[in-house]
Amino acid sequence: MNVLKLGVSLAASALSIAALVASAEVVSGLEIGTPTASIPVVDVTGAYAGDRICYVCEFQDDPNVLAFFRGTGDDTARLIVELNALYLARRDQGFKAVAMIVEGEVSKAWLEALNETEQLEIPLTYLRRGPADVAARLYQINPDVDNTFLVTINRFFAGNVSAIEPDQFDRVIAATDEMLAAR
Amino acid sequence: MRTALVMLGGALLAGSAALAQEGEFIDGEFVEGYTYVADFMPPDQLLELMEAGADDVVIVDTAAPLIWEDERIPGAVNYPWVHELALPVTLPRDKTLVLYCACNDHEDSVDMAKKLSLVGYLDVKVLEGGWFEWLDLGYPTEGLAVE
- The Cα A152–Cα B121 span in angstroms is 31
In chain A, domain spans: 29-182
Assign A49 to helix, strand or coil.
Answer: coil
Interface list for chain B against chain A, based on CB atoms closer than 8 Å: 62-64, 66-67, 69-70, 80-83, 101-105, 107-108, 131-132, 135, 145
Q: What is the pTM of this model?
A: 0.82
Is B87 among the domain residues? yes
- The Cα B89–Cα A100 span in angstroms is 34
Indicate whether B21 and B54 sit together in one domain. no
Q: What is the pLDDT of residues B16-35, one digit of tens each?
A: 443 445 677 766 666 776 77
Indicate whether B55 and B104 sit together in one domain. yes
Q: How confident is the model at residue A131 (pLDDT cuts 50, 70, 90)?
A: very high
- Checking if the pLDDT of B65 tops 90, the result is yes
Q: The domain containing residue B7 runs over which residues? A: 2-32
Domain count, chain B: 2
pLDDT for res B34: 75
Cβ B92 vs Cβ B109: under 8 Å: no
- List the CATH number of the domain containing B52: 3.40.250.10
Indicate whether B20 and B75 sit together in one domain. no
Q: What is the DSSP string of A91-104?
A: GGGT-EEEEEETT-
Q: How far is B66 from chain A (nearest CA, A)?
A: 6
- Checking if the pLDDT of B41 tops 80, the result is yes
What's the complex ipTM? Answer: 0.80
Indicate whether B129 and B103 sit together in one domain. yes
Substitution target in A39, A41, A51, A57 with the highest count of B β-carbons within 10 Å is A57
Query: Which phi and psi angles does A52 have, rounded to 5°?
Result: -80, 145
Nearest to A36 by CA among A49, A9, A54, A53: A54
Q: How far is A29 from chain B (nearest CA, A)?
A: 15
Indicate whether B51 and B28 sit together in one domain. no
pLDDT for res B106: 95
Indicate whether B59 and B27 sit together in one domain. no
Indicate whether B16 and B70 sit together in one domain. no
CB-CB under 8 Å, B70 with A37 = no
As a CATH number, domain A29-182 is: 3.40.30.10
Higher pLDDT, A137 or A23: A137
Q: Which residues of A touch B70 (CB under 8 A)?
A: 134
Higher pLDDT, B37 or A85: A85
Is B48 among the domain residues? yes
Higher pLDDT, B18 or A81: A81
Q: How far is B138 from chain A (nearest CA, A)?
A: 14
